[in-house]
Structure 1
């Protein structure tokens, strides 16, 4: 039986009268790259922030690694790496100092800390820029440093919220390949994006969110069956999304609707 890494039951979040997440039920299995697909405002980031305990749920339950997060919060969070959409790096600290800062928060010290910094920077291709200041980095380099800061403590679950926003195609492809490599090394990944091609390229299973709800969940092949009687139909993920939501995801992503 597959181990469940993340389990959400009836998860909901309201900000005053606005419903951000509306009774979401999800399970993410060990070894998956699980995608959350939806337009801006669908509830993806709020869901991730609740899993990371950055936002307190209005109601519902979160289990991480088989334990209620309310009972095992510190232990569970020590096994998670989180890459937020908004850059969580310090412009005035050098690249290696940023990674060291975040790794040290997990109790890593001495030679182990130095090795963690070196390995993380090497993994994202920033070893040669270890002494550089992020304020002088390109958008792609900043995004890669953002990821490095989440890897120093060797997380078992990596949560990435729109990690490729505002970067060039080469940097985007680099990041996607690194995520797939981490997954091959045993890291379970929760990945959110409003870019169809990213979700389709790396995710083994996905959930489509809209207006705070999960409206469909499964592999792409399973989602095709929801919109077509032909199991061999070559329907794109964009067509599936449009059929299920009545919306064009890219238009929403770019703020055109």
Structure 2
């Protein structure tokens, strides 16, 4: 398997403030890649640059070996982005939301209908397809958010804090679906404030702080950066040691 995504000296500045600072990442095809960092670390800004929602100040993003800046139309269709803030329309029905986003990729007719049904079935909302999104619970809105991002069958799924503020049952459902998508061939980038989620599903983990890459590796490799006996330390303690900060406030 090759490298599906590479960032080269990726940098974002706002006036004199550097939010992402010369970030160099390589994400392998077929893996679930975790991105950890405290608030303000630059995670969401990085995701937005990868998705071409904001432009880098310096550096580049490559997807499948091609420069994103030079191949926007082709490469954006390879991405499925599930943002931290819900990107659904409350006054549309569930199926109408999925139709709206899937049709942006020039999918039409019977193929579009099939994709809508598949996406809603995948997130367990088939029986609620005719209900308005405004009547959904927080967990159901999160699931609809995912359905809207997968209808065009992306190769790379980017989840930015997808389990914030939802119940444990919905959280477990989403994590199971992420693993299922990965088994079906999708590469996943996953950011979260919940260390247990990242440790449970991610093959490798990168830790960011103040816009910089602090460390990268498997859970075991990150622990070995701090202690020899990896059973004596948690990943949360590793994070605190490397950054001097907690991942989230309890």
Rounded to whole Å, the distance in 2 between the matches of 1:32 and 1:72 is 23
Displacement over 4 Å in runs of 4+: none
Is 1:155 the counterpart of 2:185 in the alignment? no
Rounded to whole Å, the distance in 2 between the matches of 1:25 and 1:208 is 12
Rounded to whole Å, the distance in 2 between the matches of 1:234 and 1:67 is 42
The answer for the alignment partner of 2:163 in structure 1 is 164
Structure 1 residue 235: Cα displacement? 2.0
> Cα deviation per residue 1:17-43 (whole Å; 9 max; x = unaligned)?
221101101000000100101111110
> Cα deviation per residue 1:71-130 (whole Å; 9 max; x = unaligned)?
111101111101011111001110000000101000111110000000000000000110
Structure 1 residue 234: Cα displacement? 4.0
Alignment of 1:132-143 (within 5 A): 132-143=131-142
The answer for the alignment partner of 2:189 in structure 1 is 190
3-state SS in 1 of match to 2:118: helix
> Cα deviation per residue 1:153-194 (whole Å; 9 max; x = unaligned)?
000000111111110011000000000000000000011111
Q: Which moved more, 1:171-180 or 1:66-75?
A: 66-75
Rounded to whole Å, the distance in 1 between the matches of 2:200 and 2:17 is 33
Report the TM-score when normalising by structure 2. Answer: 0.98
Rounded to whole Å, the distance in 1 between the matches of 2:161 and 2:228 is 33
The answer for the alignment partner of 1:61 in structure 2 is 60
Structure 1 residue 249: Cα displacement? 1.5
Give the unaligned 5+ runs of structure 1. none
Rounded to whole Å, the distance in 1 between the matches of 2:123 and 2:137 is 14
Alignment of 1:217-256 (within 5 A): 217-230=216-229, 232-251=230-249
Rounded to whole Å, the distance in 1 between the matches of 2:238 and 2:47 is 23
3-state SS in 1 of match to 2:231: coil
The answer for the alignment partner of 1:71 in structure 2 is 70
Aligned length: 250
3-state SS in 2 of match to 1:56: coil
Alignment of 1:83-94 (within 5 A): 83-94=82-93
The answer for the alignment partner of 2:109 in structure 1 is 110
Rounded to whole Å, the distance in 1 between the matches of 2:134 and 2:48 is 26
3-state SS in 1 of match to 2:149: coil
The answer for the alignment partner of 1:129 in structure 2 is 128
Give the unaligned 5+ runs of structure 2. none
Rounded to whole Å, the distance in 2 between the matches of 1:57 and 1:103 is 27
The alignment's C-alpha RMSD in Å is: 0.9
Rounded to whole Å, the distance in 2 between the matches of 1:146 and 1:4 is 27
3-state SS in 1 of match to 2:142: helix
Rounded to whole Å, the distance in 1 between the matches of 2:139 and 2:231 is 36
Rounded to whole Å, the distance in 2 between the matches of 1:244 and 1:39 is 12
